[in-house]
Amino acid sequence: MAFLPVASALMSDLPAPASPADSSPDHDLFDKIVNLSKRRGIAFQSADIYGGFRSTYDYGPVGVLLLRNVKDAWWRSMVQMRHDVVGLDAAILGPPQVWEASGHLANFTDPLVDCTNCQARHRLDKLDDPNVCPTCGKTGTFTEPRDFNLMFKTQAGPVAGAGADCYLRPETAQGMFVNFMNVVNSSRKKPPFGIAQIGKSFRNEITPGNFVFRTREFEQMEMEFFVPPAEADEWYRYWCQERFQWYLDHGMPENLLRLRPHAADELSHYSSGTSDVEFLFPWGWDELEGIANRGNYDLTQHQSHSGQSLEYYDQAANERYLPHVIEPAAGATRTAFAFLIAAYNEVEVKGETRTVLRLHHRIAPYKVAVLPLSKKPELTGPCLEMLRAIQPHFMCDYDETQSIGKRYARQDEIGTPYCVTFDFDSVEDRAVTVRERDTMEQERIPIEGLVRYLQEKMQ
Ligand code: GAP
C-alpha cells in the first residue's frame, strides 16, 4: 500500500503536499514532551503517589484546557458550524446485546502471545519479527496466539450473573447507531445528516504505551454521517478531505500529516473503505483518525438484533431504506498529544535555550497571560481589575512571581499566544504592553480597547 503524503486519487483536488518530513524516530523529542507535560501540569501518570497506574493519565491544570480546546475545536467545526450534524451524549455502560449486534463481542480482539522464557505478553500483529520476543530477544519462545477481547466487562447492580453483565464502551460510535431513530424522530433530520459525540472509551489494550498515544481509558470524537446508499462514495471522499483540512486549519504543519487508504486486508469487519489521517509521531507515522465507509453494517445488525425497524422513510420518493454511514473517528487525547508535538519548538534567547509551544490560538490552553510588573498592591489591585474585565472573553492565566523575562518564558512554554504586562505607567496612562509569543514583538495598547484588540488578533 502506497503512503500518500496528502494528495491521493481521493484527494486530487487538494493542494500539492509539502515535502515529507524526515520520518526517522526522534526519541529526544518524545522525552522532552513527556517531561514538559509533567513539569507544566499537562498530564500526570494516574495514581502517581502510589507508583502510578499503568496506561492511565490525569490531565493537569494546563492539560485539561488543552484537551478541552481540542474537543471544542472539533465540536465547533463538526456541529456548531453545520446545519446537517446534531450532537449526542450516550451512556458509557452498555448491555451485551449492543456489543453482540455490533460484532465487538466476536471480533474486537487482538492476537495475544506469551513468551515462555520471560513471560512478557505481546500483540502478535505489532511485532517486527513474529518469532522473536522483543523483551528477552529469544527466538521460538512464543505460545500459540490467543484472541484477546479488548472490552472491559463489569456488572450492573449488586447481584452477579448473566443478566447483570455489561461493558464499558470501546467506542462512542454505537451510541449513535442505537439512537438513530430517536434522533430522526426528535430532530426531523433526514439523510444526509450526522450525529456527533465526544466522550470516554475504554479498551483493555495488550500493549498500551507511547505516553497518551495508546491508553486503556481515552477520549474519542466521532461522527456518524447517515447518507442515501447511492451517495456513500461521494460523502466518503468529502469527509476525508474535510477532516484532513481540520488539522491544517488548526496549525498542524502539512509535512507532518498524510492520508493513508487502508489495504483490503487491513479493513475492520464493518468497513468497505477506510483512510487514516496519520501524523509523524516521534517514533514514525501513526494513526490520528480513521475515516470509514461503514456501509449499512451497523444499522442492519441493530435492526436484526433488536427487532426494531431502523429504515428511514423518504416521504418524497415514497421509499424506505437503511442509510449507509461515513464515520470520521478521531481520538481527542491522541490529537491533543499530536498538537503538542507539532507545536514544540526551541529558541535561543540571550544564549539560553527556551521552549516555545507554537499552538494555534484556538488550541492554546491559555489565550492571555496577565502579568503585573511588580507584586506591589498599587499595581496588583488595578491589574486584577483589568483581569476581571478580560476573563469573560478569554481563558487567562495570572502570574506575579519572578522577573518578567522568566514569566514570558513560562508562558511560551505552555503556548500562551499573548502576554499583557501591567506596569507603573499603566496606572497613569491606562495602557498595557502586549507581547506576542511567536514574534516576541511588543505593542502598547489602551486598556479600554484591549479586549477588541485581542479578539481581532485571535479571530
Ligand atoms: N468507531 C471507530 C473507531 O473507534 P478506531 O480507529 O478504533 O475506530 C478511532 O478509533 C480513534 O480513536 C483512533 O484513530 C485513535 O485516535 C483513537 N484511539 C483508539 N484507541 C485508542 C487508545 N487505546 N488510546 C488512545 N486513543 C485511541
Q: Are 225 and 196 in contact (CB under 8 A)?
A: no
Residue closest via CA to ligand 1's atom 25 equals 214
Residue closest via CA to ligand 1's atom 24 equals 214
Residue 114 lies in a domain: no
Residue 381 lies in a domain: yes
**Same-domain pairing of 445 and 307:** no
Residue 356 lies in a domain: no
Question: Could you tell me whether strands 284-295 and 153-155 are parallel, antiparallel, or unpaired per DSSP bridges?
Answer: unpaired
**Same-domain pairing of 59 and 200:** yes
Partners of 166 in the beta sheet?
Answer: 154
Q: What is the pLDDT of residues 151-194, one digit of tens each?
A: 999 999 888 777 789 999 999 999 999 999 999 999 989 999 99
Q: What is the pLDDT of residue 13?
A: 39
Give the distance (Å) from ligand 1 centre to CA of residue 26.
23
> Which of left, alpha, beta for 205 (phi over 0: left; psi -120 to 50: alpha)?
beta
**Same-domain pairing of 331 and 373:** no
Ligand 1 mutation target, pool 218, 269, 291, most atoms within 8 A of CB: 218
Ligand 1 mutation target, pool 214, 334, 337, 341, most atoms within 8 A of CB: 334
Q: What is the pTM of this model?
A: 0.92
Please give the number of the atom of ligand 1 that sits closest to the Cα of 287: 14
Give the distance (Å) from ligand 1 centre to CA of residue 410.
33
**Same-domain pairing of 246 and 328:** yes
Q: Are 128 and 135 in contact (CB under 8 A)?
A: no
CATH of the domain at 11: 3.30.930.10
**Same-domain pairing of 303 and 212:** yes
- Please give the DSSP secondary-structure letter assigned to residue 254: G
Stretch 63-70: mean pLDDT, rounded? 98
Structural domain of 444: 366-457
Which range is least confidently modeled, 249-263, 264-278, 329-343? 264-278
Residue 146 lies in a domain: no
Residue 113 lies in a domain: no
Q: What is the pLDDT of residues 211-239, one digit of tens each?
A: 999 999 999 999 999 999 999 999 999 99
Domains identified in the chain, total number = 2
CATH of the domain at 446: 3.40.50.800
**Same-domain pairing of 183 and 293:** yes
**Same-domain pairing of 315 and 382:** no
